[in-house]
Chain A
């Protein structure tokens, strides 16, 4: 079974530009989550999509957005890039955690290799 794929692997942009990153989940996985990894802040949750709907969101400004398509592939977009957006962006796929609260069944997240974004 193919793993999570992310494209592109490396990207260089300048301040003010926008960027779109793509993630293809493992076949059959319907939940896709995005994380930002920086040396200063570590790994931080951006958002999670399931059934083309954003189900959870982390504490990031509105410049960060995403979407999910009917085939579960996901894209994230960052508009008006800032130097501080330079990071490794990781995508993770899983079966959705069904149920709610303490009864929710959490399913393991499988990570892609990431997209390294450099903002100049």
Chain B
């Protein structure tokens, strides 16, 4: 079936550290891949996306590359800030022709000053 596995959290880093959150997926067909972020008390915001293999999504210093050979979409940022503290979700979309998302379990990120 279609599923997403994310690196287990929580993750705690110091400001300006390098961030990687691992995400691997299992899917039929040609899914699109997404990273969403959820701040406390809020809904989900799209952080970045990639719609086909080898695409790189980027936004606000975050990057992720759609790797079909390793079925991965790891999230990276070179220098994190306290304001990046949130829960991050990796997700599959466009699954079997459906307008729906399949999410990973989420990774809680805390950045200490």
What 1/0 mask marks residues of chain B from 26 to 49 whose CB sits below 8 Å from any chain A CB? 000110100010000111111001
How many A-B contacts at CB < 8 Å in the complex?
72
Number of interface residues, chain A, beta carbon within 8 A: 32
B105 within 8 A of A: yes
Give the interface segment out of B58-66, B67-75, B94-102.
B94-102
Given that A90-B44, A102-B29, A113-B43 are contacting pairs, would A45 and B102 also be in contact in the complex, using a CB cutoff of 8 Å?
yes
- Docked Cα-Cα span, A1 to B32, in Å, equals 26
Q: Which residues of A contact B43 (CB under 8 A)?
A: 4, 90, 111-114
Given that A42-B106, A43-B89, A106-B51 are contacting pairs, would A55 and B29 also be in contact in the complex, using a CB cutoff of 8 Å?
no
Given that A108-B49, A113-B42 are contacting pairs, would A101 and B29 also be in contact in the complex, using a CB cutoff of 8 Å?
yes
Q: Which residues does A use to contact B, with CB under 8 Å?
A: 4, 31, 33, 35, 42-45, 48, 50, 55-56, 58, 90, 92, 94, 96-97, 99-102, 104, 106-114
Q: Which residues does B use to contact A, with CB under 8 Å?
A: 29-30, 32, 36, 41-46, 49, 51, 89, 93-94, 96-106
Q: Which 10 pairs from chain A and chain B are nearest by CB?
A: A106-B94, A111-B43, A97-B99, A43-B103, A111-B44, A113-B43, A56-B98, A45-B100, A42-B105, A101-B97
